[in-house]
Chains A and B, each alone.
Chain A
Amino acid sequence: MHLQKETKQKIFRDIVVSLFLYAIPVILMFLSFYITGKKPWLNQGKKSNTTIVNH
């Protein structure tokens, strides 16, 4: 059972778009730092200690 060519192409195209979607929050965050002039990485020190659960 083979994957149809058009399905394969759509998956590939959508994965490329997804890479951009993954980057959007990070890009927007740095854009906000650029606009506000904030540099929160300079006062690093807060530690996190939470656990996660997925369903």
Chain B
Amino acid sequence: MIKLIESIFHNLSLWGLPVLMIIVGIFEFSFGLYDKKWNRNELLLDITCFVIPRIILQPITVYFTLRLLPVILPGLKDIFSWVPFWWAFFIIAVADDLTQYWYHRLHHQLPFLWRFHRTHHSAPYMGMSMASRQNVIYTIFFSQIYLTAALVYLGLGYAALFVTGIKSLITLAAHSSIPWDKPFYKYKILHPVAWVLERLISTPATHHAHHADSFDDGVGNYKGNFGNMFFIWDIIFRTGIITRKYPQSFGIKHYKQEEWYAQFAWPLLKSKKEGSELAAGGPMVGDEVNK
């Protein structure tokens, strides 16, 4: 049984997740869940962000793990391999996800970082197609990847396989346009489960709120709900709101449909759209300008 679970997570990390994303993505598209907003520019951006980081990020993390870590942490390889599995699991889950919470939160709260994360928020829809949609610089500097790689180097690799697999599944499920959490709010008997679930992990309701383009409906919270795998960080730091409702519209109000290549590779490539955050000399945060 353990071998089977191990094999599932191993295959998930190799090819399972991208395949799962494609299957769910086709389902979402077929049922019109992208609300006819998936035009050519969005499609090119989503596909680029799905394919390119998978090609360039793997060699970077392998280089970091095999070449740089032995220099940074000489003689410490597998030094903590004695840590029991469940403790290693707990340590990595907190270290990885709390680091990503901060990486994410700072990109929203520090104005000079916003434009590296904006690409993820410009999608006017939710779903598998936009789950990987990130600026390439944001992806390369994903801080939790390097922290977890260091913990793997120190001997916690076996637990990391499971944590990163579960985390990817939760994060993808929270981005899905399928509101799988709805039954938990609808049926009274499931309310206690919903109460725990929505505070512990990110769900479509709480994460869709983060991708809303407005606060006006009382549901959207694009300046909060930063949690990726765990929502508990938002509870602790009071950056989250839970409404058990889904926003009416997604994206950013000042979106100018910037060229897919500028959204992917800003500041290396810039937008030609006048007044865009991604144009040469454009504002750092567009919605501050439009107030």
Which A residues form the contact surface with B (CB < 8 A)? Answer: 1-3, 7, 11, 14-15, 17-18, 21-22, 24-26, 28-29, 32, 40-41, 43-55
The answer on a CB contact under 8 Å between B17 and A52 is no
Instruction: List which B102-154 residues lie within 8 A (CB) of chain A.
Output: 102, 105-106, 109-111, 131-132, 142, 144-145, 148-149, 152
CB-based contact A53/B14 at 8 Å:
yes
Q: What is the size, in residues, of chain B's interface with A at 8 Å between Cβ atoms?
A: 47
- Smallest distance from the beta carbon of A5 to chain B beta carbons, Å? 13
Say what secondary structure dominates the interface of chain B.
helix
Contact (Cβ within 8 A) B157 A52: yes
B268 shortest CB reach to chain A, Å: 22
Segment at the A interface, from B33-41, B88-96, B196-204: B88-96
B131 contacts across to A, CB distance below 8 A: 55
Write the chain A residue with the least CB distance to B112: A1
User: Is B281 located at the chain interface by the 8 A CB criterion?
Assistant: no
Question: Contact at A3–B109, with CB atoms within 8 Å?
Answer: yes
CB of B102 within 8 A of CB of A50, answer no
> What are 27 sample pairs from A and B whose C-beta atoms fall under 8 A apart?
A1-B285, A3-B109, A3-B110, A17-B237, A22-B98, A26-B91, A28-B87, A29-B83, A40-B82, A40-B83, A40-B84, A41-B82, A46-B81, A48-B81, A50-B10, A50-B157, A51-B152, A51-B161, A52-B148, A52-B149, A52-B161, A53-B13, A54-B96, A55-B17, A55-B131, A55-B132, A55-B171
